[in-house]
Structure 1
Amino acid sequence: MSPIHIIISGASSVGKSTLVDECIRKFRQDKKLKYVHFKRIQEVARTVLNQLKITGTHLENYIKHNNIEKFSDVQEKIIHEQTLCFDKEKENNYLSDRSGFDALAYIHCYFKNEQKSNSIFQSKLFQLLINQCQNGLIFIIHPQEDLQAQNDNMRIVPNYQDQIEYTESLKHWYTKAHLSYFVLTDLDITKRVEFIEKHIHGHFHWLPPEIPIPLCLPFHLNKNQHHGQNNIAVRSHSDQSYMRFIEILDKQNIKISYKKYDKNRLVEKYDPSCLNNKFVSILFDQKLDNTFLENILFNQILINSEQYHFIGYSNSQLRGRSCYLYAGSIEQTEQIINDNGDFHKIKNLSKRAARIGLLFSSCTPTIHIEPDHVIQIDDIERNGYTFTDGCGIIGRSLANQIVSYLNDFKKPILTLNDDNQIEENTCPCAFQVRYQGYKGVLMINNDDQDDNIQVRPSMKKFTSTISTCLYVCDDGYSGPKLGFLIKQFIILLSGLNIPDEIFLKKQEEHFHEIISMCDDMNVAIKYSLYFDRIDLIYHLLSANFQFVQSELEILQKKALESVEKLKIPITKSRLAFGVCDPYNVLKSGEVYFRPTFNGRQFMIDSKICFVAKSPSYHLGDIRVLKLTSYQQLEHLYDVIVFPTKGQRPHPNEIAGSDLDGDKYLICWDNDLIPNQMNKPMDYNSTAKAKESEFITRKEMISHFANAQKNNQSGIIDHYYNYWANLLGVNSTQCRRLAELFSEAVDAPKTGQRIRIPAELKPSRKEKQQLNNETTSIETTQGCHI
């Protein structure tokens, strides 16, 4: 157990030493603290003053004659002695009647000299003191107006107003040092001790009943406690990539901790590596009602007496019911958003929230690209469709520079050369990026000297000069990634007359491979790709099979768990980013795809493949396309290249997708390729997006709080699976629900209220009938999952 460090602070003569003595006495009677020995660190200032032969009269004269140098010199000696005491007892439990911050409070109150105070604060000695206090529980005794302090002829004895000013100054310096503290307001010393005891045990107070929480971390929402006022007390972390994280499970259960945060552009700009705790991540349980969320986010949250307000969220955070708070006023948070994009021009609430969310996308900073290396190129448009939607180009020279940044954060990219030697840092062919107001995928060209990026109008989501840094999204570069069948794909393929025996055969092969993966290198490589563990392939290709045996056993266990979720890896498949044909050589109905395996590119032994994307609900979402090869495209691998010719883009035919970062399943396993294709669904929404001239902060917060309530996608998915299991994917019910799902995806933007007709909702009798049927994968109509 870590040592317990308790620091009692406050103005002179408020009873700090008395409280320390009472704590020691009471702790001995506490069942949990009875055998915990506490050291006393007391009277440090008195000891130093005695050594210097200085009394309170001397200090008052220094103040009277404005002799800040002599006064400060005495205070710095006290700080030095305090740090020595803290360092000596750092491995022990201790109670101290001062923190060393008194010097700054005194100088502020009696000399009003911010320059001197800041000079001491920034000194190496004081920074050491701050580090020593970081893991302590700091309590400030609030002055009492009706108590008369006695002069002990050693220190300055302030009146009540001076004590108040001193206390506020103490709070200021604790806050500036990012130290947590509690204010003891109760006059009863017994209740003060009880308050301290409860925080040692880690209890949560202002919502009954008392709830244990980790690391002595109470939570405060602008509420006064009966025995004191408290803020979030959080431990500082040595790793600078950690952020304060609040998890609200229910109205009486709140967890507070530090968690490693996913880097994003806004946090990196205003608080790089979270050094200054300017941002907090807060997560709400899915079961919490919307009003509760709104009440919290409309108001400020206090952390170390600093105001935190709602600032925004990424799209993935919206799905997970998480958002960011910023340490500043409402005006400051709004100004930060406005300074980083012309979001005020976006009149649709959902669209504006999504565009602001791009500032919070999890991504890795790489190289800086100046504006003169950014070239604007046109989109290819036809029949109201954009064939290049979200896809730009990056010069190979720049792409090679990006790789070194990715390797600092991610797995190496591996290939084998002609001598079967492993090569690292092979350049990916595509990157999913964020650059200023641009969002999308950059595919490499074949010019080794090109040091530009080319962006299209379809990639520009807002105008911004937030940074010239090019950010690569998490998991945002191309590489070998094994594809797999999931329930949705099995249902659709079954509806396209792929026999159920094929799925059973693939599942049986999956079981056999799980058993053999720790002994068969080819199977081990396959499952390393499946679980995105390219680092393991390095050892496998180096004939270092034994080295990764324990890791393979972990993958084997994960593979067994994935069986329950009906995820079946398919050897002749890949999951890859989609890009456009930059040379306009592919014909409609053709695609180019050159995967890698065992570190080498290889030609696919099939002339056709099917391409799909999750989620998909319409039979037309499965597209059977011709695999072809063109010399101009041979520098591209592990990405699927779609044509820019034809009446409609193939990505749009596949569940209404595009090329700004969507990943596609490419499968050339002849057993799984349908002999037929259905007409693709029309994914162009006819509903007009709801717009408002002025969007308020309250509306933005309500949009976040109500996102789960308004999202009908999960319910539609549930009903779709029910009817697919019962009547097959060709049923009227499934076709109508597929259309509703598309409308539900667009609903936040259009403001359309999705209503599911009664005839699409299964009755209780029908649900019971389904529950009584077999749970086998085999079925006569479609595929029963």
Structure 2
Amino acid sequence: MSPIHIIISGASSVGKSTLVDECLRKFRQDKRLKTIQFKHIQEVARTVLNRLKITGKHLQDYIRQNNIEKFSNVQEKIIQEQIVSFDKEKDNNYLSDRSGFDALAYIHHYFENEQKANSIFQSELFQLLINQCQNGLIFIIQPQEDLQAQNDNMRIVPNYQDQIGYTESLKDWYRKANLSYFVLTDLDLIKRVEFIEKHIHGNFHCLSPEIPIPLCLPFHLNKNQSHKQNNIAIRSNLDQSYMRFIEILDKQNIKISYKKYDKNRLVEKYDPSCLNNKFVSILFDQKLDNTFIEKILLNKILINGEQYHFIGYSNSQLRGRSCYLYAGSIEEIEQIINDNGDFNKIKNLSKRAARIGLLFSSCTPTIHIESDHVIQIDDIERNGYTFTDGCGIIGRNLAKKIVPYLNDFKKPILTFNDDNQIEENTCPCAFQIRYQGYKGVLMINNDDQDETIQVRPSMKKFTSTISTCLYVCDDGYSGPKLGFLIKQYIMLLSGLNISDEVFIKKQEEYFHEIISMCDDMNIAIKYSLYFDRIDLIYYLLSNNIQFIQSELQILQKKALESVEKLKIPITKSRLAFGVCDPYSVLKSGEVYFRPTFNGRQFMIDSKICFVAKSPSYHLGDIRVLKLTSYQELEHLYDVIVFPTKGQRPHPNEIAGSDLDGDKYLICWDNDLIPKQTNNPMNYNSTAKVQESELITREEMISHFANAQKNNQSGIIDNYYNYWANLLGVKSTQCRRLAELFSEAVDAPKTGQKIRIPSELKPPRKEEQQLNNEMTSIETIQGRFLFNVLYRNSKSKSISKKDIHERLESNP
């Protein structure tokens, strides 16, 4: 636990020294504080004045003569002495009867010279003092008119009005430094001490949400009977759009910070811009056991004296062991959840948690769409499959109204007009959305006058009518995004007889392109797409490549960092949302895809492509499909359109995917398109879904705490990579692990416990290496291609050293 630093501030003759003495006496009687030794930092100003042989009369004369220089010199020496005193006791618990901010308050109040006070405030010396005070508990004694100031010949003797003016100035300087302070308004000495004791124990009573709270106070995780509550003190951040973020590292240590929060529907509704600190994000280290996490979340957590309880998490938070707390009672939190959707009809625990999690999806509020602009349309279903699963429609005119709300919108679609001038087409073709209880993708239609959205039953995850706002998910709109090969795709394509030489050639091209990026406009555009720097394309299309050399060099370094990760960008590929064919013109085995490049839509110079999605483990996940064109679909670009005809939806064939926001790799590079494919795997789960009439808050918390323990997908991935590297993806081990991975993905919905047979586990030594994450592609000696690619990334003629030298020669 960090040392406790208590600073008593206030004007002359308000009782600071008396209060410090009484605190020290009472602390020795407090059963929770009596074992803590407090140092007393006292009379720093008096020590300096004695050394300088300056009395209160001298200070009064400086004020009367308006001699700010002499007065300021004395105050700066006091500040220096205060810094030395604080530094000497920094590792101890202490009480101090002043903070050093007194100097600023004196100058500002008595000389009305804010400029001089500001110059001291901004000095390096004073910044040291601010840093020393940041984790302290600062109390300001409010002056009382009935108390007479005493003259001891060593200090300024103020009247009551001076005391008030000085105190207000002191508060202003603390606020400017974003430091904590609490005002002691009670005249009774005993009540003052009790007030301070309560704050030491984390029972804060803030009069204003703007008052920041220090970090140094006790944090108790039910360590013994005397601490039945989890107490955390968090210093406030006055910047809007930042949320309190607590990271629990182990059973004794936490890390507290403020982070730019991910907007979601509940935060936006109940605490916009986090102004009232109603929400807290809490993250648990991967090493913490589930029982400990449950105990923390089942109890209330006191933050700055206010009760916080578990409220929920998004699906991505569940994977990362993070969730939200809310400042309110359990009954209030249950009411908030119930007000935002009818979740009680969902009888499966995992499914209900996932549906509530949609309220916490990171998304941006946009336009409001009233019910008369929402049209219900049917799904297209066949053979037990839903061909339109998660895909609706939005009118083009309505879609254009969404764009101004997307602060991170990079205007990704650029076109040329007849005069070869750059134009902006600022309407994406698809949006990943959250609307009431609906989840999925809305694709634009070809009607410029249409201002409706069309939603399907497959998009409805729960019933809610509380808000008419349409939310767009983070990175949830279509645009040109370069595709790339990753380890899984390389494994599967190699298993489908794409030769090793092809991958090695693509890797060598990657090395050459990294070097050429700053000189070749087309390569620069390619990597701007790859690294999602669409903003740079404006300059590139205007032939201003020299203007952004420094930005391109940053991209070079990023590309260099990904060399050993075996991510290989492919020019003839894209990463895009999948949507359904709304006109049913595509035949089974066909897809429509019209990408943009250099600001133009273009026809692909191939009649076929392969389509994949990560993660993929089965050879049948790579689908080779025919590229075709239909006039009805020409308004769509940078999205892949799948047919609604056939026996089975192609997205479902690709790793069991759908159309509610999945992104697909579309590659038309003939060198990489397999000449043969395998039948797709059956991704329909046969596991019985577990249901319960009553799902409790305790069960929801337990589900969160145990998610990491029950998630076998990471272990399956490790085992799969081992066998793929040793025996190839066609091996029995890889095929069975691919099936297990599909079951592991569905496990959160079905509640199925995944058991990995012993024969699918690597030999004990290799398994231990994998589980400890000590192995790498290079350390497992197998026949698979990765060893070659990995070694090449270090030893080819276009080496990392060559690239670094090129970068350094073009600063």
Q: Which TM-score applies when normalising by structure 1?
A: 0.78
Q: How far did 1:132 drift?
A: 2.1
One-letter code aligned to 1:468? T
Decide which moves more: 326-335 or 437-446.
326-335
**Aligned positions of 1:475-554 closer than 5 A:** 475-554=475-554
Contact 2:19–2:189 under 8 Å retained in 1:
no
What's the secondary structure of 1:250's corresponding residue?
coil
Q: TM-score, normalized by length of structure 2?
A: 0.76
Q: Distance in 1 between matches of 2:376 and 2:559?
A: 45
Alignment partner, residue 654 of structure 1: 654
Mapped partners of 1:454, 1:622: distance in 2 = 31
Residue type at the aligned position of 1:16: L
Query: Which moves more between the two structures, 379-388 or 94-103?
Result: 94-103
Evaluate the alpha carbon distance shift between residue 40 and residue 647 of structure 1 in structure 2; reply closer, same or farther with a 3 A threshold: closer
2:188 matched to 1:138? no
- Asked if residue 777 in structure 1 is aligned to residue 785 in structure 2, the reply is yes
Equivalent position SS for 2:609: strand
Instruction: Decide whether the 8 Å contact of 2:591 with 2:643 is kept in 1.
Output: yes
Give distance in 2, aligned partners of 1:385 and 1:331: 40
Distance of aligned partners of 1:533 and 1:85 in 2 relative to their CA distance in 1, 3 Å threshold: closer
Per the alignment, do residues 650 and 662 of structure 1 end up closer, same or farther by CA in structure 2, a change over 3 Å counting? same
- 1:143-542 correspondence runs (5 A): 157-158=187-188, 174=206, 176-177=208-209, 179-180=211-212, 206=218, 219-221=219-221, 232-406=232-406, 408-418=407-417, 419-542=419-542
Partner of 1:702: 702
Q: Is the contact between residue 16 and residue 141 of structure 2 (CA under 8 Å) also seen in structure 1?
A: no
Cα distance change on mapping 1:296 and 1:173 into 2, 3 Å = closer
Instruction: Deviation per CA, 1:606-640: give whole Å up to 9, x if none.
Output: 00000000001111111110000000000000000
1:345 counterpart SS class: coil
Matches of 1:491 and 1:97, distance apart in 2: 61
Please list every run of 5 or more consecutive structure 1 residues that lacks an aligned counterpart in the other structure: 52-80, 104-124, 142-154, 183-201, 207-218
For the Cα contact (< 8 Å) 1:265–1:361, is it kept in 2?
yes
Structure 2 distance, partners of 1:614, 1:312, is: 27
For residues 448 and 529 of structure 2, the distance between their equivalents in structure 1, rounded to whole angstroms, comes to 29
Q: In the aligned structure 2, how far is the partner of 1:574 from the partner of 1:353?
A: 33
Give the aligned partner of residue 604 of structure 1: 604
Matched AA of 2:41: C
Question: What is the number of equivalent residue pairs in this alignment?
Answer: 676
Segment of structure 1 superposing worse, 567-576 or 298-307: 298-307
C-alpha deviation, 1:251, in angstroms: 2.2
Could you tell me whether the CA contact under 8 Å between 1:504 and 1:777 is conserved in 2?
no
Partner of 1:592: 592
Shift in Å, 1:224: 9.6
| 8 Å CA contact retained: 2:230, 2:300 | no
Q: Residues 747 and 703 of structure 1: is their aligned pair in 2 closer, same or farther, counting only changes over 3 Å?
A: same
**Partners of 2:587 and 2:336 in 1: how far apart?**
47
CA contact (8 A) 2:413 2:428 kept: no
Query: 2:616 & 2:490 partners in 1: Cα distance?
Result: 11
Secondary structure (helix, strand or coil) at the match of 1:614 reads coil
One-letter identity of the residue aligned with 1:550: S
Distance in 2 between the 1:14 and 1:224 partners? 35
Q: Please name the residue that 1:63 is paired with.
A: none
Task: Give me the whole-angstrom Cα distance separating, in 2, the residues matched to 1:564 and 1:726.
Answer: 20
- After TM superposition, the structure 1 = structure 2 runs for residues 102-117 of structure 1, keeping only pairs within 5 Å, are none
**Structure 1 residues 129, 300: CA separation in 2 closer, same or farther (over 3 Å shift)?**
farther
CA distance in 2 between partners of 1:774 and 1:374 (Å) = 56
Residues 775 and 24 from structure 1, CA distance in 2 versus in 1: closer, same or farther, beyond 3 angstroms?
Answer: farther
Match of 1:145 in 2: none
- Rounded to whole Å, the distance in 1 between the matches of 2:231 and 2:313 is 24
Counterparts of 2:197 and 2:117 in 1: how far apart (Å)?
A: 22
User: Tell me, what secondary structure is at the counterpart of 1:574?
Assistant: strand
Shift of 1:527: 0.6
TM-aligned CA deviation for residue 163 of structure 1: 8.4
Out of 22, 41, 49, the position equivalent to 1:23 is 41
CA RMSD, Structure 1 to Structure 2 (Å): 3.9
SS in 1 for 2:319: helix
- State the shift of 1:339 in Å: 1.0
Secondary structure of the corresponding residue to residue 506 of structure 2:
helix
- Gap change, CA 1:685 and 1:131, over 3 Å in 2: farther
Residue 692 to residue 367, structure 1, CA distance change in 2 (3 Å): same
Give how far 1:135 is off: 2.4
The structure-2 alpha-carbon separation of the partners of 1:233 and 1:86, relative to structure 1 and needing over 3 Å to count, comes to farther
Give the conservation status (yes or no) of the 8 Å contact 1:778–1:784. Answer: no
Matches within 5 A, 1:57-96: 93=129
Q: Deviations over 1:9-38 (max 9, x none)?
A: 99989943657994345865554479x994
- Aligned-residue offset at 1:98: 5.4
Q: Alignment partner of 1:409: what SS?
A: coil
Please list every run of 5 or more consecutive structure 2 residues that lacks an aligned counterpart in the other structure: 25-38, 45-81, 91-95, 145-167, 770-774, 794-811
Percent pairwise identity: 74
Separation in 1, partners of 2:365, 2:195: 45
Cα distance in 2 for residues equivalent to 1:595 and 1:311: 42
User: Does the Cα contact within 8 Å between 1:517 and 1:523 map onto a contact in 2?
Assistant: yes
**Residue of structure 2 equivalent to 1:722:** 722
Mean Cα displacement is larger for which, 488-497 or 757-766? 757-766
> Does the 8 Å contact 1:7/1:139 carry over to 2?
no
1:174 match: secondary structure: coil
Q: Specify the code of the residue in structure 1 equivalent to 2:479.
A: G
Deviations 1:752-772 (A, max 9, x none): 111111111111477799946
Question: Aligned in 2, Cα 1:744/1:126: closer, same or farther, shift over 3 Å?
Answer: farther
Does the 8 Å contact 1:685/1:743 carry over to 2? yes
Alpha-carbon distance between aligned partners in 2 of 1:370 and 1:5, rounded to the nearest angstrom: 55
Moved more, 13-22 or 253-262: 13-22
